[in-house]
Amino acid sequence: MRMFLLAFLLALFQLTAPNRVLLAQAPAQQPPAKTPPKTPDTVPAPAAPVSKHYPILVIAHGNEPVWSLRLGMKGPERLDRANYPPIVLDPGETSADDPGKAWTYHAKDEATGADVSVKLFREACSDAAAAEIKYTFRAVVDHAQIGTLNGCGQSMPELFPEFRKKNQLNPDDNPDANDKDKDKDKDKKTVLEPITNFKPPVAIAYLDSVGRVILSRGAIKRTVAASGTEMSLSHDGKKLLYTRSDSKSGPERTIVLYDWDSGRAKDMVHGNVRQAFWSPNDSRVAFLNLQDQKWQVWTFPAGAPEKAAVFYPENVLALHGWAGATTLLATDLLNAYWISEDKPAQTVPLKEIYGETFQVMSSDTLRVHPLNSDLLLISAYYTNAPAGAPVDSMGLNASFFLYEIRAKRRVVLCPLDTWGRSAEWSRDGLQVFFSRLVPPKAFQDTRIFWDGTGSRRYEGASDLTVGQ
């Protein structure tokens, strides 16, 4: 009993002891250990913003060959090359190859649909033709038909009038003004500048409405002959070659020379002859002569027709003039031939030149650009007339197109709503004169610039040829 009482009293003491005694009996609590701050997981730095802006209002250019390109507010607008018509471009998408350093601009050749890309690199660039100038960009232009062009570029807003015009508009004056201009820009298909440096011809020859041969120099017009065909005017505009038919039923013809200063005509060569052409310096005359059942190319020194001799003995169907001081261009129904007296003849299949769009006929004409032997002006009939195009009594639509021999680039120059034939270059190479069929059956000489602009009626009725 005593033992039970002692145990009870001991338990009661422990329960009523001060708190400090209880704490003394409890194991000492250690202060919480300081845990090292948790190292946050590595968070990637926010990506630098990729600029969606790219250079605009840039003029790029290069040499060998000479070229320039306009890169406007929407991308590439126009590609120019020396002695070729300008190429209008339809801008496409632009991508940043290396943001802030390199960009690629895509476009289409509006006339042929060929792909075009322009690469700009923001790096110093120098031009061999102007080594003292340091340009901001290096430029590389790739045209699917023409090839690669290398050069330099510089931002030049002052050469873009449409940009200045936009900046001069005040949106507060007319809130809708900018939107309207944007719509107009979307519809604008051309960035061609007006051609103002052309030289109207001083001397021309043509057939009037009744078929008479007319030679015009300045304000003076002369009737040279009651009839004639295949006219060729010397470069000084004072000597006219034409073919006169000597028989209503036979092939006999005469190539005649008319001299402006004397006012007299002289028979040069007679027989089954046709298509006479002056050489580039007017020192020689080339023509076709039927010998041994073959149309051969013959030549003679100007003023000495008695010295006429064979130049090319093989058979051709048409002569198209001189392609250089010693080279003539001729065709049959399969090929075009560049015939030279100092090197082998060169041949290009006509199917390559005409494509599927045009059909080959012996009456077609091919004319070499006066400053660029790579550029041809070809008059031919469509294989199938375009919808709505005027046709002649045979149901054919005549047209003319430009062809680049090296690039194989073909561009129709004759307007689609026009029947046009016998296209000829002006001496400056910026103008084309052609015979336009006017309903019901009349012809009218018309001029158009080589970029397809500036169409207007000209003198004469048909077959206009240009001298000086």
The answer as to whether 30 is a domain residue is no
Pick from 352, 448, 327, 453: nearest CA to 408 = 352
Local confidence band at 238 (pLDDT 50, 70, 90 cut-offs): very high
Same domain flag for 140 and 218: no
More confidently predicted of 65 and 18: 65
pLDDT score recorded for residue 248: 83
pLDDT score recorded for residue 346: 95
Structural domain total, the chain: 2
* pLDDT beyond 50 at 22: no
Same domain flag for 80 and 227: no
The answer as to whether 449 is a domain residue is yes
Same domain flag for 149 and 100: yes
* pLDDT beyond 90 at 142: yes
pLDDT in tens, 201-210: 999 999 999 9
Same domain flag for 419 and 309: yes
Same domain flag for 315 and 427: yes
Local confidence band at 450 (pLDDT 50, 70, 90 cut-offs): very high
Question: By mean pLDDT, which of 107-121, 184-198, 300-314 is the weakest?
Answer: 184-198
* Tokens at 262, concatenated: 């004397």
Same domain flag for 316 and 444: yes
The answer as to whether 12 is a domain residue is no
> β-strands 284-291, 273-278: how paired?
antiparallel
pLDDT in tens, 279-317: 999 999 999 999 999 999 999 999 999 999 999 999 999
Same domain flag for 291 and 426: yes
Asked which of 166, 193, 220 is the last residue of a domain, the reply is 166
pLDDT score recorded for residue 45: 56
CB 82 within 8 A of CB 66: yes
Local confidence band at 128 (pLDDT 50, 70, 90 cut-offs): confident
* pLDDT beyond 60 at 432: yes
The answer as to whether 384 is a domain residue is yes
The answer as to whether 52 is a domain residue is no
* Tokens at 52, concatenated: 């969606």
Average pLDDT, integer, range 373-401:
95
CB 399 within 8 A of CB 412: yes
Same domain flag for 145 and 242: no
**Helix H or strand E segment including 103:** strand 102-109
pLDDT score recorded for residue 58: 97
CA distance 258 to 267: 9
Q: Is the peptide bond before 313 cis (omega within 30 degrees of 0)?
A: no
Q: 148: domain range?
A: 58-166
Same domain flag for 258 and 369: yes
Angle, vertex CA 366, rays to CA 365 and CA 369, nearest 5: 135
Question: HSE of 167 in the Cβ direction (CA atoms, 13 Å)?
Answer: 8
Local confidence band at 170 (pLDDT 50, 70, 90 cut-offs): very low
Asked which of 166, 188, 221 is the last residue of a domain, the reply is 166
The answer as to whether 8 is a domain residue is no
Average pLDDT, integer, range 379-383:
97
pLDDT score recorded for residue 249: 82
Same domain flag for 261 and 361: yes
pLDDT in tens, 209-224: 999 999 999 999 999 9
Q: Which residues of 140-149 are buried (b: 16+ CB within 10 A; e: fewer)?
A: bbebebbeeb
* pLDDT beyond 80 at 375: yes
**What Rg, from alpha-carbon coordinates, does the chain have?**
40
* pLDDT beyond 50 at 172: no
pLDDT score recorded for residue 33: 55
Asked which of 166, 188, 217 is the last residue of a domain, the reply is 166
Average pLDDT, integer, range 172-182:
44
The answer as to whether 37 is a domain residue is no
Same domain flag for 231 and 162: no
Pick from 225, 226, 249, 239: nearest CA to 276 = 239
Local confidence band at 460 (pLDDT 50, 70, 90 cut-offs): confident
Same domain flag for 309 and 455: yes
pLDDT score recorded for residue 441: 81
* pLDDT beyond 90 at 127: no
* Tokens at 167, concatenated: 């900046």
The answer as to whether 426 is a domain residue is yes
Number of CB atoms found within 10 A of residue 208's CB: 16
Local confidence band at 130 (pLDDT 50, 70, 90 cut-offs): confident
pLDDT score recorded for residue 180: 46
pLDDT in tens, 64-95: 899 999 999 999 999 999 999 999 999 999 99
Domain CATH for 227: 2.120.10.30
The pTM is what? 0.84
Average pLDDT, integer, range 31-53:
56
